[in-house]
Structure 1
Amino acid sequence: MTRSALPIALIASALISQASAADTASTDAVETLVINGCPIWPYTRCPGADLRHADLLGKNLAGADLRGANLTRADLRAANLAGANLEGANLTAARLQKANAPAANFRHATLVGADLEAARLMRSDLSGADLTGASLEFARLNFAWLAGAQLVSANLQEAKFATVNLRGTRMEGCVTRFTIFPDADFENCQGCPTGW
């Protein structure tokens, strides 16, 4: 090797080793979050998982199976729950502000005191869910099912209940300022607004 080629070879070798080290560091930084044995990623299968107080801020849990999971006081702000199955899950006092949950299954879920402000719940199934003291302020619930749900002392300000099924729902003591219910089904609903 000539004298002029030696420094070029050393520089090239140093650059390659730095690039290799950077690739290794970036690979290590993208580790999967696992909470109590439940991997946090789309379509995860964690029925009955213990995710109390879990920091799931902005996480992608689209299509996740979280049936019967304990998500008490979990932080799910801006999380993607599209098509997720949360049937029978405990979401007491969970933070779901701006959560994206179209077509999610919340059947018989406990959402007591949950904050769903500005959540997107279009076509979601909340049948039999307990939303006592929950905040649904500015939530979008177009085509959602709330048959037999409990909406007691809930904040429904500016929520959009367009073409919603509220059959057999119990609604009392709710704040409904600027809330709209176009084409909603109020059959056997206790306390639902009239004149829509």
Structure 2
Amino acid sequence: MRETDGADDGRQVRPGIGLSRRTLLRGSVTTLGLAAGGVLFSGNSAQALDIYNPFSGYQLTGTWQDHLDDGSLGGLDYGMGVGTALPAAGAGVISNIPNNGTGGHTVTITHSDGYRTQYMHLSRFLLADGATVGKGGIVGYSGGAVGAPGSGSSTGPHVHWHLITPGGTRVNPLNYLGGGGGG
């Protein structure tokens, strides 16, 4: 008699694991989809979070590793002039944090499955807390000029960008986008 995963189609599972080969393959395909498609998947592969890199047209002036080497929790810096419109990487709900310590004015976009994108060193917020924004909608304006309101500890005009998982871990958005475009 074969051991099954409880489905009435009699699929065989690996003894002691309780997962069918189909379930294991489905998980692998979801993981590969992150790197290949530029779309971030939640635990349910039928529910995809559509985000992109809205700053790909700007020079990357600080890499993820640069930030880690400097003792921060990571992030990406894109050089741009003060007052540049900042598009939402994906649809979501806005939270503004004025004067967020070293990050200065910070906008957080909470996406449909709990992932959050965050932009720091803004010169100005555009949308109110709780407002919804569509993918590509403008959420604020870049800042970062030394000593200017909202710049935090910035050393020059730019935007700092990162992605936060539903569990609260800051991660490099480019690792989840697979080279997704924008800009």
The TM-score, its normalising length taken from structure 2, stands at 0.28
Please identify which structure carries the higher strand content: 2
The TM-score, its normalising length taken from structure 1, stands at 0.27
Structure with the bigger RCO (C-alpha within 8 Å, sep 6+) is: 2
Greater gyration radius: 1
